[in-house]
Amino acid sequence: MIEKQEQPPLIRVENLSKTFILHVQGEARIPVFSDLSLEVAAGQCVALFGSSGTGKSTLLRSLYANYKPGSGHIWVRHGADWVDMATAVPHRVLEVRRETMGYVSQFLRVIPRISARDIVAEPLHALGIDLEQARAKAEVLLARLNIPEAMWDLAPATFSGGEQQRVNIARGFAVDYPILLLDEPTASLDAGNRAVVIELIREAKARGTALVGIFHDDEVREAVADAVFNVKAGELAA
């Protein structure tokens, strides 16, 4: 849809800071990062970089408004509007999450009694897409991620870690979000499934999706990332 040219930004992070204050542990203050600024354009994939504890995950979660930053802004292109995820009211955030921004977490949050197929189909269905149609798309994704058909009707509570992670990825890719956040999507996957995820990310980029991700696996990072953002230094490098 969008040709290779100067792409408009979809995410604009401005002077973002985050400090955890642990009241139950003697008011301990844990500064994570401060004064970060970052832009991510349509079709671009930015990998967050830094050693463990530098705040990659915290930044990613802040982008999704899962964590509330202390100061700064996270502007997100939502349809025709710019929404600041750091200050938006909850129902606005939920709307952005529903329509604009997807998030593949490290672990699947298992919902009791719901089948793998419906977990994947749910975000599509929430957008008003007919349940059967949503399930059909879910099945395509589950098949691509090599989840055996026999498991589609089962609730993933009993699945292995890798299987749960693949269900989680399928769920994240079910909707063609303009923005997608990935938290170590390939952490517990074998080479074959890693390749599928790389493919999915490339397809998303080709559609014009802006991606921000944490990739522990160098191979995956090199395959998909257009730029690397050093969280500790607050610098973007190609």
Partner 1 sequence: MNDTSPLLRVHNLSHAFGSLLACADISFELHSGEVLGVVGESGSGKTTLLNCLSARLMPTNGIVEYDLRDRGLTDIYALSEPERRFLLRTDWGVVMQNPRDGLRMNVSAGGNVGERLMAVGARHYGEIRSAAEDWLAKVEMDLGRIDDAPKHFSGGMQQRLQIARNLVTKPRLIFMDEPTGGLDVSVQARLLDLLRGLVRELKLSAIIVTHDLAVARLLADRLMVMKDGRVVETGLTDQVLDDPHHPYTQLLVSSVLQV
129 interacts with partner 1 by CB under 8 A: no
- Work out whether 21 is an interface residue with partner 1 (CB under 8 A): yes
Q: Decide whether 24 or 150 has the Cβ nearer to partner 1.
A: 24
Min. distance of Cβ 26 from partner 1 in angstroms? 11
Name which position in 54, 66, 106, 146 contacts partner 1 (CB under 8 A): 66
Number of residues that bind partner 1 (CB under 8 A): 21
Instruction: Say if residues 181 and 212 touch (Cβ distance below 8 Å).
Output: yes
Question: Can residue 68 be called a binding residue for partner 1 (CB under 8 A)?
Answer: yes
Choose between 13 and 200: whose C-beta lies nearer to partner 1.
Answer: 13
139-176 b/e (C-beta count within 10 Å ≥ 16 → b): bebbebbebeeebbeebbeebeeebbbbbbbbbbbbbe
Which has the closest alpha carbon to 124: 146, 108, 105, 139?
139
Residue 69 or residue 213: which is nearer to partner 1 going by CB? 69
Minimum CB–partner distance for residue 81 and partner 1 (Å): 11
Cβ atoms < 10 Å from Cβ of 238: 6
4 versus 91: smaller Cβ distance to partner 1:
91
**What is the C-alpha separation between 19 and 4, in angstroms, rounded?**
38
The H-assigned helical ranges of the chain are 56-63, 90-99, 116-126, 131-144, 161-174, 191-207, 218-224
| Closest to partner 1 by CB, 92 or 232 | 92
**Under rule CB under 8 A, residue 112 binds partner 1:** yes
Tell me if 126 contacts partner 1 by CB under 8 A.
yes
Q: Which of 12, 34, 37, 92 binds partner 1 (CB under 8 A)?
A: 92
- Distance, in Å, from the CA atom of 230 to the CA atom of 163, rounded to the nearest integer, reads 31
Q: Does 111 bind partner 1 (CB under 8 A)?
A: yes
CB 164 within 8 A of CB 110: yes
User: Using the rule CB under 8 A, is 94 a contact of partner 1?
Assistant: yes
Instruction: Look at residues 168, 174, 138 and name the one whose alpha carbon lies nearest to residue 156.
Output: 168
Please report, as ranges, the residues that interact with partner 1 according to CB under 8 A: 20-24, 61, 65-68, 90-95, 111-114, 126
